[in-house]
Amino acid sequence: MSRLTRNTLFSPLLILLGMIALSATPLRADSSGYQQTLKSTAWVITSNAENETSAGTGVYVDADKKLLLTNAHVIGESRKAVVFFPTQSGGKLAVRRKFYLDNILKLGIQGDVVAVDRKRDLALIQLPRVPAGIEAIAMADDSTTPGAKVALVGNPGDSAILWVYTAGTVRSVYQKKFKSTHGEHDFMALETQSPIKPGDSGGPIVDEAGKLVGLAQSFSPQSPLVSFCVDITEIRQMLNSPWKSAPLPAKVLLDEAGIEYSRHSSGHYQIDRTVGSNTQAVFVAKNTEYHGRADIRRIWSTVQTTDQAPDETLLMRLVRQNAATKLGAWAVEKTASGYVVFYVAKLDATASDETFESTIDYVARLAAAMQQDLKPKPNQETAQATLQAWLSE
């Protein structure tokens, strides 16, 4: 048999062996990359003022300051978080949620939310300690490019399993401005062709070298395979800029300040202040308002509700009063049942307890004085209906 014939017979086998050899490298690389990323990935659990629990993912980014990065929407208004890092059980990676929850006293770490950037949808949790073997993730210097392969390690909420690996491809990198149920966002987005599920939010997006190139943020409602991530350039900018303190939820602030309150049917908080011989109801908004990097807490009191529009005399009086008030302003709003006149102050949501309580008192005194001056008195049934309509918005 000629040499050509022998090569012809064996060439399919050689080609197959060559394909196996070529494919073995990326398979090992994927496994190695997963193990390395796992050392920086965490499961994050938070709860709001109503004790409703939510969970997501985080990535350890700074070993010196012990900082964990996640999405702002994972944190919500919580200022505490319970963090779990992956561990082994019986010589293997423990992947079941129940295992970690059953061992929360041993494995859970209580962290403080020290910074929130709603615009970028990023938040930082500072930890008192981290387990042995946990490492801060290496970060890419700049954005990756379309066509690049990426991977995510996350904790999808529809699974009883943690530390789930998902591979994908970069579709594009661009500036994305949009609104979500978590607020208004504007950041450099890394769009990928890979599924991100609720619970994966805050998880590390890494390149083939295992470096952080983005943070899992959301997925497209039109296509579950199209996902949006916060680009590494945004992450670096937040880490390198002065951190913005995260405001406390209204309920927590009221409790810590020792202010007595009741919960209105609208969900807002009602504080009754005695002014002279009368009681003036002041309301604190249940949610913090966000405008860029400004966190605003709204405090208001209603002084008049009528089914007729305020006349020119009253409007001019309110305008003059606005020029003299120290903070806040008078406003008139039309609702489905009439018109409401109220005084509203918008306070920095990170202001001290003393400033917060002083603002409540100021709003109460100013509103009570105006209410005494306004004639005729409103029909109480109409007033309650109008107040309810305005508070429910």
Q: Is the peptide bond before 376 cis (omega within 30 degrees of 0)?
A: yes
Q: Kindly report, as residue ranges, where domains of CATH 2.40.10.120 are found in the chain.
A: 38-240
Q: What is the DSSP string of 7-29?
A: HHHHHHHHHHHHHHHHHHHHHHH
Buried b (16+ CB within 10 A) or exposed e, 28-65: eeeeebbebbbebbbbbbbbebeeeebbbbbbbbeeee
pLDDT for 26-68, tens place per residue? Answer: 444 578 889 999 999 999 999 876 677 889 999 999 999 999 9
Q: Kindly report, as residue ranges, where domains of CATH 3.30.1460.10 are found in the chain.
A: 250-391
Residues 6+ apart with CB under 8 A from 244: 115, 116, 117, 293, 295
In the prediction, which pLDDT does 385 show?
Answer: 61
Confidence of residue 15 (pLDDT cuts 50, 70, 90): very low
In the prediction, which pLDDT does 293 show?
Answer: 66
In the prediction, which pLDDT does 3 show?
Answer: 39
Distances (CA, A) of 371 to 313, 363, 377: 15, 12, 8
In the prediction, which pLDDT does 387 show?
Answer: 57
In the prediction, which pLDDT does 315 show?
Answer: 86
In the prediction, which pLDDT does 78 show?
Answer: 86
Mean pLDDT of 352-381: 80
Q: Are 283 and 391 in contact (CB under 8 A)?
A: yes
Q: Is the pLDDT of residue 272 over 80?
A: yes
In the prediction, which pLDDT does 268 show?
Answer: 93
In the prediction, which pLDDT does 224 show?
Answer: 78
Q: Is the pLDDT of residue 336 over 90?
A: no
Compute how many other C-beta atoms are within 10 angstroms of the C-beta atom of residue 321: 15
Q: Are 288 and 295 in contact (CB under 8 A)?
A: yes
Which DSSP symbol is given to 133?
T
In the prediction, which pLDDT does 28 show?
Answer: 47
**Phi, psi for 372 (deg, rounded to 5):** -65, -30
Confidence of residue 386 (pLDDT cuts 50, 70, 90): low
Residues 6+ apart with CB under 8 A from 87: 93, 94, 107, 131
Confidence of residue 13 (pLDDT cuts 50, 70, 90): very low
Confidence of residue 9 (pLDDT cuts 50, 70, 90): very low
Q: Are 298 and 344 in contact (CB under 8 A)?
A: yes
In the prediction, which pLDDT does 23 show?
Answer: 41
Which of 20-24, 85-89, 106-110, 312-316 has the least mean pLDDT?
20-24
In the prediction, which pLDDT does 6 show?
Answer: 37
Closest by CA to 140, choosing from 230, 236, 216, is 236
Instruction: Return d(Cα 156, Cα 168) in angstroms, integer.
Output: 16
List the structure tokens of 183: 């607020």
Q: Are 243 and 295 in contact (CB under 8 A)?
A: no
Mean pLDDT of 246-251: 81
Q: Which residue has the tokens 């917060």?
A: 356
In the prediction, which pLDDT does 250 show?
Answer: 87
In the prediction, which pLDDT does 17 show?
Answer: 39
Mean pLDDT of 315-327: 84
Instruction: Return d(Cα 374, Cα 177) in angstroms, integer.
Output: 45
Strand segments (E) across 224-359 = 226-231, 262-263, 269-275, 278-284, 289-291, 294-306, 329-335, 338-348
Q: Is the pLDDT of residue 245 over 90?
A: no
Q: In the chain, count H helices and then E strands.
A: 9, 21
Please name the CATH architecture into which domain 38-240 falls.
Beta Barrel (2.40)
250-391, what's its fold?
Yope Regulator; Chain: A, (3.30.1460)
Mean pLDDT of 320-331: 85
pLDDT for 213-244, tens place per residue? Answer: 999 999 888 887 899 999 999 999 999 988 76
Confidence of residue 16 (pLDDT cuts 50, 70, 90): very low
